[in-house]
C-alpha cells in the first residue's frame, strides 16, 4: 500500500489495495478492526493492482491510475461495478516510458483538470512528464498540455505529487540520481510548476536543491493555513517543514 487519501468534505479515508485489486473506503474516524463502508472490487471494475488513487470530493469521483489508463468511479460506488470513464490509448501518452505506467494523479476541481505523472524514454534517458487533461477526458484523448523536457528537471518521481488548486500549482517531489566519478549522487528536491505550463519549462520554484538538504524524498503535503510545505525524506528518516509564503 503506497497511498491513502482523505476526503475532507465527506470525512472518509480511501485506500487502494494492490494485492486484493480493490479500493476501500472507511469513515474518517475509523479505528481498530473496522470494516470498510464501501469496497470497489471485481472483474467489471478493471482494477488489477491499484497502488495509488485520487479523490475529487467536489464532483464525487475517484480516479485510479492503472498501468496505461486512468479509471474513474463515482465516489459512492460499491461492489463489482464498471468505471464510468476510462482514459486510455496511444494519444493519451499515458505509461509509455520507463515507468510501469501512470505513476500518480491529481485533480484540480477549480479548473476541472486532471494531472497525470507518467514516464517517457528509457534507461538513462528516462524522465517524468506531467500530462494535463480535462477532468472529464475519456478514451484515447490527447492531453491539453504536456510538461516535459530537460529544463523541467523532471527525472524520477520521489513520491505522489500534490496540487494546490487555489493558485493552480503542481508541487512535485523529485528523486533524481546522477553518477559522478562512478559514485552515485542523489539530487532530490521539490519543484513547483504552474498548471498552465506546457512543454520544456523550468520549475518556477525549487525547494531544497538540487544538491540540497534532501537525500531521498518520499512525499510532500501542503499546510495552506500556515503557508507551509511538509516533506518526508526516507534516508534522512525525517519530516521537514518549510515556510513558503510566496507559494500561497
- From 127, 148, 169, the end of a domain falls on 148
Same domain? For 109 and 15 the reply is yes
Are 11 and 70 in a shared domain?
Answer: yes
Q: Which residues of 88-125 are buried (b: 16+ CB within 10 A; e: fewer)?
A: beeebbbbebbbebbbbbbbbeeeebbbbbbbbeeeee
Q: Which residues are within 8 A (CB) of 13 and not within 5 positions of it... i.e. 6 or more apart?
A: 4, 5, 6, 7, 25, 26, 27, 28, 30
Q: Which three cell numbers stand for residue 32?
A: 481498530
- Per-residue tens of pLDDT for the chain, all 248 residues: 678 899 999 999 999 999 999 999 999 999 999 999 999 999 999 999 998 899 999 999 999 998 889 999 999 999 999 999 999 999 999 875 444 456 688 999 999 999 998 876 554 456 789 999 999 999 999 999 999 988 998 877 777 889 999 999 999 988 765 444 554 445 788 999 999 999 999 999 999 865 678 888 888 999 999 999 999 988 889 999 999 999 99
Whether 190 and 105 map to the same domain: the answer is no
Whether residue 19 is found in the same domain as residue 123: yes
Please indicate, yes or no, whether residues 8 and 116 belong to a single structural domain of this protein. yes
Predicted pLDDT at 124: 47
The CATH number of the domain where 30 resides is what? Answer: 2.120.10.30
Count of the separate structural domains present in the chain:
2
Are residues 207 and 127 both part of a single domain?
no
102 and 135 both lie in a single domain = yes
Instruction: List the domain range (segments joined by +) for residue 153.
Output: 149-248
Tell whether omega for the bond before 210 is within 30 degrees of 0, i.e. cis: yes
User: In whole angstroms, how far apart are CA 29 and each of 6, 7, 244?
Assistant: 11, 12, 31
Do 164 and 206 fall within a single domain?
yes
Assess whether 156 and 199 both reside in one domain: yes
Amino acid at each position: 500500500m503506497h497511498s491513502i487519501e482523505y476526503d475532507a468534505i465527506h470525512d472518509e479515508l480511501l485506500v487502494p489495495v494492490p494485492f486484493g485489486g480493490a479500493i476501500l473506503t472507511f469513515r474518517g474516524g475509523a479505528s481498530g478492526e473496522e470494516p470498510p463502508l464501501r469496497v470497489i472490487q471485481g472483474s467489471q471494475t478493471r482494477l488489477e493492482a491499484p497502488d495509488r488513487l485520487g479523490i475529487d470530493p467536489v464532483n464525487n469521483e475517484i480516479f485510479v491510475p492503472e498501468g496505461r489508463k486512468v479509471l474513474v468511479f463515482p465516489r459512492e460506488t460499491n461492489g463489482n461495478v464498471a468505471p464510468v470513464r476510462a482514459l486510455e490509448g496511444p494519444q493519451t501518452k499515458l505509461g509509455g516510458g520507463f515507468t510501469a505506467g501512470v505513476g500518480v494523479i491529481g485533480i484540480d476541481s477549480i479548473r476541472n483538470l486532471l494531472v497525470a505523472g507518467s514516464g517517457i524514454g528509457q534507461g538513462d534517458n528516462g524522465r517524468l512528464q506531467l500530462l494535463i487533461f480535462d477532468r472529464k477526458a475519456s478514451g484515447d484523448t490527447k492531453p491539453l498540455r504536456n510538461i516535459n523536457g530537460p529544463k523541467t528537471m523532471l527525472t524520477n518521481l520521489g513520491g505522489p505529487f500534490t496540487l494546490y488548486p487555489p493558485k493552480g500549482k503542481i508541487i512535485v517531489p523529485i528523486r533524481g540520481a546522477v553518477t559522478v566519478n562512478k559514485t552515485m549522487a542523489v539530487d532530490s528536491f521539490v519543484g513547483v510548476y504552474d498548471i498552465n505550463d506546457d512543454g520544456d519549462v523550468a520549475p518556477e520554484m525549487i525547494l531544497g536543491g538540487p544538491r540540497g538538504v534532501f537525500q531521498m524524498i518520499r512525499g510532500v503535503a501542503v499546510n495552506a493555513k500556515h503557508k507551509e510545505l511538509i516533506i518526508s525524506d526516507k534516508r534522512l528518516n525525517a519530516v521537514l517543514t518549510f515556510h513558503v509564503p510566496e507559494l500561497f
